[in-house]
Amino acid sequence: MAVSSPSPLKVDESVEIVFALPNSEVLVHGRATIVWDEDGKSGLRFEHMSPEVLDRLEAWLGSNVLNRLDSRTVKLPVLEGGKVPHAVASPF
């Protein structure tokens, strides 16, 4: 996931994250590692989330992002209930 920051973040730094998913009442909280930082934008890799939060995030991604991919885009596998398999979700 990429985020904007008013000041640069340190690559490999572990940070606490909390954010609400758009058009949802789901609040995501956990830990992430900064994997890149460039021009006030940083890439995060999720590290620690409760299983419940991870399930809700995967369900939201399945219904709000993956289902909107058009036919010119490679389709990612989505499990029953709109969940993304961990092997697909974790590199992002």
Q: Which tens digit of pLDDT belongs to each residue from 7-54?
A: 888 999 999 988 888 888 888 888 999 999 888 889 989 888 888 888
- Check residues 29 and 75 and name the one with the higher pLDDT: 29
- Residue 78 binned pLDDT confidence (cut-offs 50, 70, 90): low
| Average pLDDT score over residue span 52-76 | 68
- Whose tokens are 């399945």? That residue is 62
pTM metric for this prediction: 0.59
35 within 8 A of 9, measured Cβ to Cβ: no
Q: How do the domains of the chain map onto residue ranges?
A: 2-89
